[in-house]
Amino acid sequence: MALVGPPPMLNSNPFAVLMSDLRDERSASVPFPPGETGLSLPRTRRFANEPLPLLLEAYERYGPIFTLRLFHSNVVFMLGPAANHYVTVSHASNFTWRDSHFRDLIGLMGDGLLTIDGEFHRRSRLIMLPAFHREHIVASVDVIVEETTRALDELTPGASIDLYAWTRRLALRVAMRALFGVDPDGVQARSIDAAGLFEDALAFYASDFLLRVFRGPFTPWARLQQAARRLDELIYSEISRRRATGERGSDILSLLLDAQDEDGNTLTDLQIRDEVMTLMFAGHDTTTSTISFMFYELAHNPELVGRLLAEQDALLADGEPSAAQLISGELSELEMVFEETLRMYPPAWVGPRRAVGAFEFEGHAVPERAFVNYCSWASHHLPDVFADPEEFRPERFSPQARAAMPKGAYVPFGGGSRTCIGMRFGQLEVRTIATLILSRFTLTLPTDFELSIRQMPTISPRDGLPMFVHPRSAVAAAGLTAAA
Ligand code: HEM
């Protein structure tokens, strides 16, 4: 089977896109599901700044499927277990990602796995899957442990840190080494602040909807393009170095460089660049947010910290986790905290899609070409599915409680043929970073800290996460929640 070529470029002229969306909407063969369909900038801004309450209010009013006009277009939201299953599994082939509500991500990631559909997606996934098999993941443990230990060595009790920025740098170093096979301390990588460049590029997705349509100099789009070009320099130079030297390792770049179909066709540099960029983005941003939200919640739940430390004391030999423990998730208290963190704060909070054909869900018709989003963040906060959803309760994920959860209720990694390809890698990384932080330090929040969440396009603490570093035992023993 020949390597299928990438899909045609989408028109990136925002005004042409806007007109085409409006044309699609006007020619809809069936009405949109009920909702708020009048043009409203305040609603659009609210969605950009605090989507969760907006979606939950709409769910209460309209039920599991409703329409909100955001900026210029109607967007259909489908919430809850049945909706998640419908979009990701049972009717996944009726939805595309590429021309969805988040299509602007193509500006950064090109035609990587996240933004493609159909046969090209299936083929690309097949090429990449071996890199995410168990033996490859296992081979990354040492890198993750080494990088985390190195980052922890920089912390001292009494220090105050931005845990979000600290984790972001760590996760990017891990992604560079384990996925891309690049030494972050090498001459070129050192000259490029990849974490800062991703921050700059992703700021586009946090900018005002109105500003996003402009393409001139000094616009958020220009900043995104500039940051992407710098990251490209790093990626392309590594591709040509590897092609020239023939050097290969167990990283995904090696796999992509050698991928061939039976006619001997190989991937182009551009295709490889797009996959590497996608993995570097998806592979560091989500773990960074998860660690941040996990330690935010732990700082509010000292008794949970006590339980996690007791578990470590009982199971870790000489206070160090073994590779087998990290891979298997043997520390079950930590696993439940991890899963509850992803329930309350699923970093990839929305699954953007476009309907190929008209369809019906729960008695409501949806027109062809409609924007349709499933949303883990809102689905995980439905009180009829998760009682007292605002409460952080890891016991929701005890084996018995988990077994009783309805299909599609808990979808932090998506589902079906687009399930997160990096799930096992991400789980291993979060587990390792969390275990090693807890084995050395206890982190607390400033007493006046108030969490505000931004989406960019994953969710994360808006202005970082300021935390104080304490020796492991001192704070846990005293049960302090916040101290300078
Ligand atoms: C806690 C960590 C992570 C979470 C919560 C997460 C979540 C998700 C979700 C929800 C999706 C599906 C989105 C959709 O349905 O539209 C997804 C897809 C994806 N993730 Fe992750 N992810 C994580 C870590 C990672 C890591 C570490 C990597 C790479 C090493 C990665 C690479 C990807 C890719 C490439 C896709 C697109 C898959 C496809 O469409 O075939 N993710 N992720």
pLDDT in tens, 31-61: 999 999 999 999 999 999 999 999 999 999 9
Residue having the nearest C-alpha atom to atom 24 of ligand 1? 426
What is the percent of the chain where pLDDT is above 70? 96
Distance CA(158)–CA(160), nearest Å, equals 7
Residue having the nearest C-alpha atom to atom 43 of ligand 1? 420
Residue pLDDT, tens place only, 323-378: 999 999 999 999 999 999 999 999 999 999 999 999 999 999 999 999 999 999 99
Q: 228 CA to middle of ligand 1, Å?
A: 20
Residue having the nearest C-alpha atom to atom 21 of ligand 1? 420
Q: 283 CA to middle of ligand 1, Å?
A: 8
In ligand 1, which atom is closest to the CA atom of 417?
A: 41
The three-state secondary structure class of 76 is: strand
Q: 130 CA to middle of ligand 1, Å?
A: 16
- Return the pLDDT at 246: 94
Kindly list the domain boundaries of the chain, sorted by start residue: 14-478
A 10 A CB-CB count for 87 gives 27
Residue having the nearest C-alpha atom to atom 19 of ligand 1? 420
CATH architecture of the domain formed by 14-478: Orthogonal Bundle (1.10)
Question: Residue 445 burial by CB count (10 A; 0-12/13-18/19+): exposed, middle or buried?
Answer: buried
- Return the pLDDT at 484: 37
- Return the pLDDT at 166: 96
In ligand 1, which atom is closest to the CA atom of 121?
A: 41
Q: 411 CA to middle of ligand 1, Å?
A: 11
Q: 337 CA to middle of ligand 1, Å?
A: 20
Q: 105 CA to middle of ligand 1, Å?
A: 14
Residue in 97, 101, 141, 286 to alter for ligand 1 test, most ligand atoms within 8 A of Cβ: 286
Q: 233 CA to middle of ligand 1, Å?
A: 24
Residue having the nearest C-alpha atom to atom 7 of ligand 1? 413
Residue in 117, 420, 424, 455 to alter for ligand 1 test, most ligand atoms within 8 A of Cβ: 420
Question: Taking a C-beta distance cutoff of 8 angstroms, is the pair 229, 223 a contact?
Answer: no
Characterize 207-226 residue by residue with b for buried, 16 or more Cβ atoms within 10 angstroms of its Cβ, and e for exposed: beeeebbeeeeebbbebbee
In ligand 1, which atom is closest to the CA atom of 351?
A: 16
Question: Residue 307 burial by CB count (10 A; 0-12/13-18/19+): exposed, middle or buried?
Answer: middle
Is the model more confident about 437 or about 212?
437
In ligand 1, which atom is closest to the CA atom of 352?
A: 16
- Return the pLDDT at 481: 44
Instruction: Provide residues with CB under 6 Å of ligand 1.
Output: 113-114, 125, 179, 278-279, 282-283, 286-287, 290, 342, 346-348, 351, 412-414, 418, 420-422, 425-426, 430
Residue pLDDT, tens place only, 73-90: 999 999 999 999 999 999
- Return the pLDDT at 474: 56
> What's the alpha-carbon Rg for the chain, to the nearest Å?
22
Q: What is the mean pLDDT of residues 135-153?
A: 94
Average pLDDT, the chain: 92
- Return the pLDDT at 482: 43
Q: Which residues contact 373 (CB under 8 A, 6 or more apart)?
A: 75, 76, 77, 78, 100, 101, 350, 351, 352, 353
Q: 219 CA to middle of ligand 1, Å?
A: 28
Distance CA(24)–CA(6), nearest Å, equals 24
Residue pLDDT, tens place only, 387-439: 999 999 999 999 999 999 999 999 999 999 999 999 999 999 999 999 999 99
- The amino acid present at 262, given as its one-letter code, is E
Residue 470 β-bridge partners: 442
- Return the pLDDT at 194: 83
Token output for 392: 């952080």
In terms of Cα–Cα distance, which of 476, 473, 441 is closest to 155? 441
List, in sequence order, every beta strand (DSSP E) within 50-168: 65-70, 73-78, 95-96, 160-162
Please provide the distance, in angstroms rounded to a whole number, between the alpha carbons at the two ends of the chain. Answer: 61
| pLDDT at residue 190 tops 80 | no
Residue pLDDT, tens place only, 284-331: 999 999 999 999 999 999 999 999 999 999 999 999 999 999 999 999
Separation in Å, CA 264 to CA 1, 92, 242, 306? 11, 32, 19, 57
Token output for 29: 């063969």
* Element holding 387 (H helix, E strand): none
Say how far residue 482 (Cα) sits from the centre of its chain: 29
Residue having the nearest C-alpha atom to atom 18 of ligand 1? 420
Q: Which residues contact 355 (CB under 8 A, 6 or more apart)?
A: 76, 94, 95, 366, 367, 368, 369, 370, 371, 372
Q: 169 CA to middle of ligand 1, Å?
A: 19
- Return the pLDDT at 346: 98
| pLDDT at residue 475 tops 60 | no
In terms of Cα–Cα distance, which of 471, 437, 465 is closest to 450? 465
Residue having the nearest C-alpha atom to atom 37 of ligand 1? 114
Residue pLDDT, tens place only, 80-121: 999 999 999 999 999 999 999 888 889 889 999 999 999 999
- Return the pLDDT at 272: 94
Q: 420 CA to middle of ligand 1, Å?
A: 4
In ligand 1, which atom is closest to the CA atom of 419?
A: 12
Pairing, β 160-162 against β 466-471: antiparallel
Taken in order 50, 52, 55, 61, the sign of the CA dihedral is negative
* Element holding 354 (H helix, E strand): strand 350-355
Residue having the nearest C-alpha atom to atom 31 of ligand 1? 422
Token output for 473: 């035992």
- The amino acid present at 82, given as its one-letter code, is A
DSSP 319: T
Distance CA(449)–CA(442), nearest Å, equals 17
- Return the pLDDT at 218: 86
Most confident by average pLDDT, 177-191, 212-226, 235-249: 235-249
Residues comprising the chain, all counted:
484
In ligand 1, which atom is closest to the CA atom of 342?
A: 5
- Return the pLDDT at 4: 60
Residue having the nearest C-alpha atom to atom 36 of ligand 1? 420
| pLDDT at residue 476 tops 80 | no
Q: 286 CA to middle of ligand 1, Å?
A: 8
Q: 140 CA to middle of ligand 1, Å?
A: 18
Residue having the nearest C-alpha atom to atom 9 of ligand 1? 413
In ligand 1, which atom is closest to the CA atom of 179?
A: 30
